[in-house]
Chain A
């Protein structure tokens, strides 16, 4: 039993930290959260620099322009990017690229992989719809075949990053008569296609996501990934490629580190916050849950590094980590008391209002990317063999 990461992986971590802390400083970290269009030039520049170091495609096989970097290194890369809230092009590099490597044709690999690796392009996920969230397979957007084209009509919602992606990784219905899982196809669509409109949705966390409207959007049949009507299978595979990033602990750790510093430095009513026994208990509990999450992450990375598929372990990581981070935000507002409600800019706002923002931000991950109710059911059924309904 050995919980230490290999020495080369830790050296890789140091290199990453040195780079990211320099190239994605604090001012930009906040902008990345907001996902604003205005921040996009900086995002693209950061991607370009990452690409220069070969870090977008670090884990890809050499034949596709990567370095065949180890699973543990990729795990560390995701952790460090998360710690600094740095805009690693995760969709393109960790979902689209491996899927194309496995299921795309040579033409698609030649066209997209180098551009993803160079940081020139990134993708948004065209998955969820107004009526298709947890029940994603019930998606309705229609892609009809018309000669050498697909004609796409419908609406996608929560299309995060649509406003600053070059392509959409679209899951669309190509056979309405088939059972729902068997009538879906995966199609790559340029975001500047005529008929494709992006409308911002601003969230309570001040993040931008989008609704996208598809009106007779024509896309060449050559943009179909893999086989027609096999899209659901590829969507599932895409989720499996980097299971250890089901919940990167970096950001959780970063916020906690700053909270600890605040507690150490703040004197209120003549008393240091860090001397309050209730605050000490809360801080300790967050720390325990953070380290539990970290170990769950290590476990998934280790399983993947052995070539095994973590079935319930990744669900447990996502479920537990998102709730633990949520509890941290709640505890932080209790620790800071009335100050916890202050927005950035208000006199006396701790950490420039970070806790207030975090408290709003932690609402989403427990239902996003696979609602925790589903994750618990996966643990029980796929993991422990409990019978399905």
Chain B
């Protein structure tokens, strides 16, 4: 048993930390918010240049051949710096293609995705806002050697940044993923302004025609494949969420050490100390549950899916608690826009909800315990 990071993971972590202090600062984040923009191509391409986009991609396709623990180390640092979540959408799409695509699709697409020449996003949910198979209504019909898609996908993370979408649609035979170009005729993308200033969109498909080669093979095991996409999406989100709550907590700790009231730092008051202790506990447990889930995924443990569900359920609920306390202990100054802590409060909600908040994942845990 060894809970330390490897040397490579330490390097990845410090590189990402430097990136957050130099390349993507909070000041830059605020500039984008002030302009009402959610897409930062420059930052994304810098990430691709650092090979972050290839982290879990096989070396045969130009990737680094790393594992989920590596990814979580990176994601925590991204969350701490509130880095653009385009990376996460892109990584999920990349992994879906790597796992479910044909040999030819992988050969054609993965190097482009790894290089960042192609930006991708996965579109699973629809207006019903669930991750249920039965709520996927986006209809797909086959016409000779094309597929025609009609429907509305919603809460598409990375929707504005993407060149190409992986659309989850329903054929007569069942669910499948389809590669759809943003520029294709019949595709409309509408931004969904949200509390976390995250790039999320509606993607409306009006008889969009795609070649037969656009089908990313999910037909064989549609349910397990969807489960796998939700699991990967949830773990990615949990990893970033750990970073958001870790930074919120460390900012809070720094603040209560410095803020003087009643002639002493407010960090000397037990009520403050105890709330901080609860924040730290929330972060530590979230981090370790997520790392365990990542490790179990890398090791192909049968309980990996349940472990991911536990991690995401924990992080979703913990995010709410941690950021509430963070703002509470910052008092008035934390409520102002000038101070950064509110940025964490708001982005925490994004991480809480995307790829399932706690109830959804608890149901998955319950199923593993009670229905076997």
Contact = CB atoms under 8 A, between A and B. Distances in A.
A298 B4 CA distance: 12
B48 interface: no
A5 B256 CA distance: 39
Given A1-B5, A4-B299, 13 more contacts: A3-B3, A3-B292, A3-B296, A72-B1, A280-B363, A283-B370, A291-B310, A292-B289, A295-B285, A376-B273, A377-B274, A386-B253, A389-B269
A341 B223 CA distance: 42
B274 A373 contact: yes
Given A1-B4, A295-B288, A380 B370 contact: no
B276 interface: yes
Nearest to B4: A1
A298 B288 CA distance: 10
Nearest to A323: B281
Contact of A387 (B1, B265, B313, B370): B265
A346 interface: no
Contact of B362 (A260, A285, A377): A285
A386 B369 contact: no
A284 interface: yes
Main secondary structure of the interface of A (DSSP, over half): helix
B284 interface: yes
Contacts of B289: 288, 291-292, 295
28 contacts: A1-B69, A2-B295, A3-B295, A3-B296, A6-B1, A274-B370, A277-B363, A280-B363, A281-B363, A283-B369, A284-B313, A284-B366, A285-B362, A287-B369, A288-B362, A288-B365, A295-B288, A301-B1, A302-B1, A302-B3, A316-B281, A377-B270, A384-B277, A385-B253, A386-B253, A387-B264, A389-B269, A389-B270
Given A292-B288, A295-B285, A384-B280, A1 B3 contact: yes
Given A280-B370, A377-B277, A386-B253, A288 B292 contact: no
Contacts of B268: 386-389
B359 interface: yes
Interface string B342-372: 0000000000000000010111111101110
A30 interface: no
Contacts of B4: 1
* Most A-side CB within 10 Å, residue of B1, B288, B365: B1
B1 A376 contact: no
A2 B273 contact: no
B14 interface: no
Interface residues of B, number: 50
Contact of A288 (B5, B9, B277, B314): B314
Contacts of A305: 1
Interface of B: 1-6, 9, 69, 253, 256-257, 264-265, 267-270, 272-274, 276-278, 280-281, 284-285, 288-289, 291-292, 294-296, 299, 307, 310, 313-314, 359, 361-367, 369-371
A295 B290 CA distance: 11
A373 B275 CA distance: 11
B99 to A, nearest CB: 22
Contact of A379 (B6, B264, B281, B367): B281
A206 to B, nearest CB: 30
Contacts of B313: 284-285, 288
A295 B292 contact: yes
Contact of B267 (A277, A291, A387): A387
Contact of B366 (A281, A302, A375, A388): A281
Contacts of A389: 264, 268-270
A1 B288 contact: no
A319 interface: yes
Interface residues of A, number: 46
A1 B6 contact: yes
A4 B3 CA distance: 10
Interface of A: 1-6, 72, 260, 263-264, 274, 277, 280-281, 283-285, 287-288, 291-292, 295-296, 298-299, 301-302, 305, 312, 316, 319-320, 373, 375-377, 379-381, 383-389
Contacts of B280: 312, 316, 379-380, 383-384
A388 B273 CA distance: 9
A194 B65 CA distance: 73
Nearest to B370: A274
In the A-B complex, the 5 residue pairs with the smallest Cβ-Cβ separation, listed nearest first, are A284-B362, A380-B273, A280-B366, A376-B277, A284-B365
Nearest to B362: A284
A316 B274 contact: no
Nearest to A264: B370
Contacts of A283: 366, 369-370
* Most A-side CB within 10 Å, residue of B2, B272, B277, B366: B277
A387 B257 contact: yes
A386 B273 contact: yes
A287 B362 CA distance: 9
Nearest to A272: B370
Contact of B370 (A2, A263, A385, A388): A263
A4 to B, nearest CB: 6
A284 B363 CA distance: 7
Contacts of B361: 284
Contacts of A379: 276-277, 280-281
Given A1-B69, A3-B295, A377-B274, A320 B285 contact: yes
Contacts of A377: 270, 273-274, 277
Given A376-B277, A376-B278, A384-B253, A292 B314 contact: yes
Contacts of A302: 1-3
A388 B270 CA distance: 9
Nearest to B68: A1
A112 B152 CA distance: 76
Contacts of B256: 386
Given A274-B370, A376-B273, A376-B274, A386 B292 contact: no
A381 B272 CA distance: 11
* Most A-side CB within 10 Å, residue of B9, B281, B291, B363: B281
Contacts of A388: 268
A281 to B, nearest CB: 5
Contacts of B270: 373, 377, 389
Contact of B3 (A288, A292, A299, A384): A299
A64 to B, nearest CB: 26
B192 to A, nearest CB: 28
A381 B276 CA distance: 10
Contacts of B1: 2-6, 72, 298, 301-302, 305
A274 B371 contact: yes
A288 B277 CA distance: 20
A389 B265 CA distance: 9
Contacts of B362: 280-281, 284-285, 288
